[in-house]
């Protein structure tokens, strides 16, 4: 028996539930996990669209009603406004969205009492849409769909590129594969995908951007470990750690904040090393194991706080360290559109302090002449240039080597090119390659 398509009003209810969870401070990921499986793909598509247009929707709601209704009703109302405010790019015609939003309000106990209010607001929106949208155009939060503090920080940090960053954030990210060159060459993998009817564009040294996203189960070779899903910008980390030539063992590498293991696996793909992967969360360490197993790779995985070496370090100094530090995730907003609404301005300083703690803890564990690659998926300079400048000011034995620096999010592929600040299709990152001077003595375990 053929299953009937899920009614749109149910999809809108599910998307509104995700928005309500984000407003409570919860990530969209667990909120979507609670949505019934048959609704989840549609709920994700709609809720991501809503989160990318939430600033405009909330500004419109203020035009329609000076006082917000109860949270569940406001989430449904703003969901409908976010989806319908702009006819171009709307997933359904505005009249259909409004009609189905009212139906959704009527059918849910938590919104039924506000059905008439939601209906009145949305019918007025349809009648006065052009004027209402024009009235919100001067509001920067409505224009850019980011919190005001975020917009102001980008203006300060990137005065010539802040608009480009915000525009990139509001677009959907592509699905990018990293080819496991231990198993197959990039050109051969592209040919295999093309033979299966999957069009791709090369990006960087190891990447292929899919013309359209697919479930990983439909990608030839994924289960066999030929490819992994990883943004092109993230694919730079492993090559920076390993260097221009793959080292000969024994070579000790630490991936200090490793979960879910994408960068760990890439390091293991590029070089035969003794690789230690740490993560503070045991459950996330299991994800690292799973990724390595699928790819046929090995590393020592340990649940530990990288910032407390006395609890895990055996005294063997490392030739190279990757510190993919906890950060605001301000560079991956196009993949995680909830991030902008979950972060608070005070988070930037708190996370920068964590980054400083980790740098200070791990630097003594590096051999003289070794390299530490500091990485964040952030475009904020407090988590990039400023953090490294502060570190260098207090560590005279550290030398900053040439590297990407702030890699700003960009949409659009540069065939065969390395992701950079001028072109490419990649998320936002910061990379710094720090080399330890030959005269700086390594730490002893008792010092850690």
Using omega within 30 degrees of 0 as the cis cutoff, is the peptide bond preceding 250 cis?
A: yes
Domain range 231-447, CATH class: alpha beta
**Total length of the chain:** 448
C-alpha to C-alpha distances, 92 to 46, 86, 108, nearest whole angstrom? 10, 11, 22
Q: Kindly report whether the global pTM for this prediction surpasses the value 0.75.
A: yes
Annotated active-site residue in 78, 257, 285, 377: 377
Could you give the CA distance from residue 308 to residue 445 in angstroms, rounded to a whole number? 11
Q: What is the pLDDT of residue 121?
A: 98
Is 213 in contact with 177 (CB distance < 8 Å)?
Answer: no
DSSP labels, 157-189: H-TTTHHHHHHHHTSPPPPEEEE-TTT--HHHH
pLDDT at site 66: 85
Structure tokens at 374: 């500091």
Strand 207-210 and strand 176-179: the pairing is antiparallel
What does the pLDDT read at residue 18?
98
Residue with tokens 């375990």: 445
CA 60 to each of CA 56, 137, 141, 148: distance values in angstroms, whole numbers, following the listed order: 6, 10, 11, 16
Q: Please name the residue ranges forming H helices in 296-343.
A: 339-342
User: Token match 């480009």: residue?
Assistant: 164
Fold of 8-145: N-utilizing Substance Protein B Homolog; Chain A (1.10.940)
User: Which one, of 52, 50, 31, lies nearest residue 40 by Cα?
Assistant: 31
Tell me where in the chain the CATH 1.10.940.10 domain(s) lie: 8-145
Site of tokens 């708190």:
350
d(CA 34, CA 44): 12
Q: Which residue in 429, 428, 359, 408 sits closest to 387, CA to CA?
A: 359
> Quick count: other Cβ atoms within 10 Å of Cβ 403?
17
Q: For CATH 3.40.50.150, list the domain ranges present in the chain.
A: 231-447
**pLDDT the model gives residue 89:** 86
Q: Is the peptide bond before 260 cis (omega within 30 degrees of 0)?
A: yes
Distance CA 157, CA 429 (A): 14
Q: Is 377 a catalytic residue?
A: yes
* Residue-level pLDDT at 417: 42
3-state secondary structure of 249: coil
Per-residue pLDDT at 418: 45
> What per-residue confidence (pLDDT) applies to 330?
98
Give the integer Cα–Cα distance in Å for 22 and 436.
Answer: 42
What does each of the 448 residues of the chain score in pLDDT, given as a tens digit? 344 578 999 999 999 999 999 999 999 999 999 999 999 999 999 999 999 999 999 999 999 998 999 999 999 999 999 999 998 889 999 999 999 999 999 999 999 999 999 999 999 999 999 999 999 999 999 999 999 999 999 999 999 999 999 999 999 999 999 999 999 999 999 999 999 999 999 999 999 999 999 999 999 999 999 999 999 999 999 999 998 555 666 689 999 999 999 999 999 999 988 999 999 999 999 999 999 999 999 999 999 999 999 999 999 999 999 999 999 999 999 999 999 999 999 999 999 999 999 999 999 999 999 999 999 999 999 999 999 999 999 999 999 998 899 999 988 744 444 455 444 699 999 999 999 986 555 555 544 3
Q: What is the pLDDT of residue 243?
A: 80
- Give the pair of three-digit tokens for residue 148: 């005001």
The HSE-up count of residue 147 (CA atoms within 13 Å, CB side) is 14
Q: Which residues contact 8 (CB under 8 A, 6 or more apart)?
A: 92, 96, 97, 100
């Amino acid at each position: 028996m053929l299953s009937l398509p899920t009614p749109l009003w149910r999809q809108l209810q599910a998307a509104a539930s995700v928005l309500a969870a984000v407003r409570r401070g919860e990530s969209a990921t667990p909120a979507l996990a609670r949505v019934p499986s048959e609704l989840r793909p549609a709920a994700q598509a709609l809720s991501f669209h809503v989160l990318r247009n939430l600033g405009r929707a909330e500004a419109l709601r203020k035009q329609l009603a000076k006082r917000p209704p109860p949270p569940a009703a406001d989430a449904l109302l703003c969901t409908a406004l976010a989806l319908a405010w702009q006819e171009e790019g709307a997933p359904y015609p505005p009249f259909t969205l409004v009609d189905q939003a009212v139906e959704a309000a009527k059918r849910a106990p938590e919104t039924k009492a506000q059905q008439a209010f939601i209906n009145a607001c949305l019918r007025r929106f349809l009648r006065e849409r052009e004027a209402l949208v024009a009235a919100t155009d001067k509001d920067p939060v409505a224009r850019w769909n980011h919190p005001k503090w975020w917009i102001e920080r980008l203006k300060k940090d990137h005065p010539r590129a802040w608009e480009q960053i915000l525009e990139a954030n509001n677009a959907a990210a592509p699905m990018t594969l990293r080819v496991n060159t231990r198993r197959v060459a990039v050109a051969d993998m592209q040919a295999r995908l093309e033979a299966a009817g999957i069009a791709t564009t090369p990006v960087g040294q190891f990447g292929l951007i899919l013309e359209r996203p697919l479930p990983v189960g439909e990608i030839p070779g994924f289960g066999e470990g030929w490819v992994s899903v990883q943004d092109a910008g993230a694919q730079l980390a492993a090559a920076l750690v390993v260097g221009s030539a793959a080292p000969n063992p024994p070579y000790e590498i630490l991936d200090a904040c490793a979960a879910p293991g994408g960068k760990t696996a890439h390091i293991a793909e590029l070089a035969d090393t003794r690789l230690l992967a740490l993560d503070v969360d045991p459950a996330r360490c299991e994800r690292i194991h799973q990724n390595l197993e699928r790819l046929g790779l090995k590393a020592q995985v340990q649940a530990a706080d990288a910032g407390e070496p006395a609890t895990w370090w055996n005294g063997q100094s490392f030739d190279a360290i990757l510190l993919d530090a906890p950060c605001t995730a301000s560079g991956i907003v196009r993949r995680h559109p909830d991030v902008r609404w979950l972060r608070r301005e005070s988070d930037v300083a708190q996370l920068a302090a964590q980054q400083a703690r980790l740098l200070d803890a791990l630097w003594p564990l590096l051999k003289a002449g070794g390299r530490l690659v500091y990485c964040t998926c952030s475009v904020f300079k407090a988590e990039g240039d400023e953090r490294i400048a502060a570190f260098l000011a207090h560590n005279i034995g550290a030398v900053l080597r040439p590297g990407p620096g702030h890699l700003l999010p960009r949409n659009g592929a540069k065939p065969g090119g390395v992701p950079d600040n001028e072109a490419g299709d990649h998320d936002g990152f910061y990379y710094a390659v720090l080399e330890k001077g030959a005269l700086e003595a390594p730490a002893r375990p008792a010092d850690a």
